[in-house]
Chains A and B, each alone.
Chain A
């Protein structure tokens, strides 16, 4: 029997409406690309969670890096970040105003570039998958502004919000390749770690239904070709050597205890928050929050869908994004605009 017919049969047997949340932005992209929502039985709804790192980066972090760029400090970033609107401007606009903003595919490029541009700051963001790479670069001497986050505390924050109804999580594949299965076991609902092909996501949905049918709530791995039970201890060691756990602000979710990665004192000469502390203090004082009707924060929690936002598709498009969820290619609004706009 095919996965689709299994899903249909099991969903029918369960009968009640089910909401599954995919936690990784790349899963949102897979779901849209393969039209998986259109293949689902009526009682299964797939909602996106806070797994797009660019989207969940707090506005104040964007503003600080824009501020540093405008003060003449060379900045290196991953591509998606460049168009996130700041309270003052985006990094792309800062570049057009004479700031030195370099887009990298790979952090090793930034490590090379710092030889020509001493003082270069890399804007480090992302979850456990990219944190190890940044840790490596810090050890190589690169200065980093860390907006890195770890994933499980955000899942705990989502589950603590009683307005958010979820029957199962599709856990992020590549974050899991680093952290393994253990950190998810604290959450008492069905969870399946999935890969990024269309059929990987279908398999995860099918396995979530199996758990619901048998009344179980476990962590299962549907991405065994990559994810080991214990994750990647070498990558975790690298992360732990350079970073310590700190509180962090997430767009939409607010401040979450113990969800951020801050550079340890041992490496403070590579910590932009230490190296440029006076400048950052000044930038913080000068930030004037600009009111916006952007609902990215609610979209990230699965509380509303992109199309429920009054800006979506009208004034907010991938060419002229008003908020982070429309900027990133894996932001829910960007994905929704490209694949499902009627």
Chain B
């Protein structure tokens, strides 16, 4: 149920947005988030559930760097 895919917002159109999943474009619903063009979001069942933080792209590397 929680399978989700990250994608980049290409165009915002009211409560919908066009998103790019690594080359594949799709319309998704953005009613649950505040986003703008260029943001990365996690998409589950056709909805963006939350904005992604690209500065924290790799949690594992961060942990390993902090706990050397």
Residues of chain A touching chain B, judged by Cβ–Cβ distance below 8 Å, are: 1, 3, 24-26, 52-54, 78, 80, 105-109, 126-127, 129-130, 132-133, 136, 172-175, 177-178, 195-196, 199-200, 202-203, 206-207, 222-228, 232, 234-235, 238, 328, 330
Q: Which B residues are CB-close (under 8 A) to A195?
A: 59
**Which one of B31, B47, B57, B64 lies within 8 Å of A225 (CB-CB)?**
B57
Number of interface residues of B (CB under 8 A): 27
Q: Which B residues are CB-close (under 8 A) to A178?
A: 49-50
**Which one of A3, A206, A232 lies within 8 Å of B50 (CB-CB)?**
A232
Closest A-chain residue to B33, C-beta based? Answer: A234
Q: How far is the CB of A182 from chain B (nearest CB, A)?
A: 16
Residues of chain B touching chain A, judged by Cβ–Cβ distance below 8 Å, are: 1-4, 29, 31-34, 42, 44-47, 49-50, 52-54, 56-60, 62-64
10 contacts between A and B (CB under 8 A): A26-B1, A53-B1, A105-B45, A108-B46, A126-B1, A129-B2, A174-B49, A206-B63, A227-B50, A232-B33
Closest B-chain residue to A196, C-beta based? Answer: B2
Q: How far is the CB of B30 from chain A (nearest CB, A)?
A: 10
How many angstroms between the C-alpha atoms of A238 and B49 in the bound complex? 12
Q: Which A residues are CB-close (under 8 A) to B56?
A: 224-225
Across the interface, do A174 and B44 meet the contact criterion of CB distance under 8 Å?
yes
Q: How far is the CB of B64 from chain A (nearest CB, A)?
A: 8
Closest B-chain residue to A200, C-beta based? Answer: B59
Q: Which B residues are CB-close (under 8 A) to A105?
A: 45-46
Across the interface, do A24 and B2 meet the contact criterion of CB distance under 8 Å?
yes
Q: How far is the CB of B13 from chain A (nearest CB, A)?
A: 13
Q: How far is the CB of B27 from chain A (nearest CB, A)?
A: 9
Across the interface, do A3 and B46 meet the contact criterion of CB distance under 8 Å?
no
Q: Which A residues are CB-close (under 8 A) to B54?
A: 225
Across the interface, do B1 and A177 meet the contact criterion of CB distance under 8 Å?
no
Across the interface, do A234 and B34 meet the contact criterion of CB distance under 8 Å?
yes
Closest A-chain residue to B42, C-beta based? Answer: A226
How many angstroms between the C-alpha atoms of A109 and B43 in the bound complex? 16
Across the interface, do B2 and A172 meet the contact criterion of CB distance under 8 Å?
yes
Q: How far is the CB of B9 from chain A (nearest CB, A)?
A: 15
Q: Which B residues are CB-close (under 8 A) to A203?
A: 59-60, 63
How many angstroms between the C-alpha atoms of A200 and B63 in the bound complex? 11
Q: How far is the CB of A154 from chain B (nearest CB, A)?
A: 14
How many angstroms between the C-alpha atoms of A288 and B42 in the bound complex? 42
Q: Please list the 7 inter-chain residue pairs (A to B) with the smallest Cβ-Cβ separation, ordered nearest first.
A: A106-B46, A26-B2, A177-B50, A235-B32, A225-B56, A224-B56, A174-B2
How many angstroms between the C-alpha atoms of A106 and B49 in the bound complex? 13
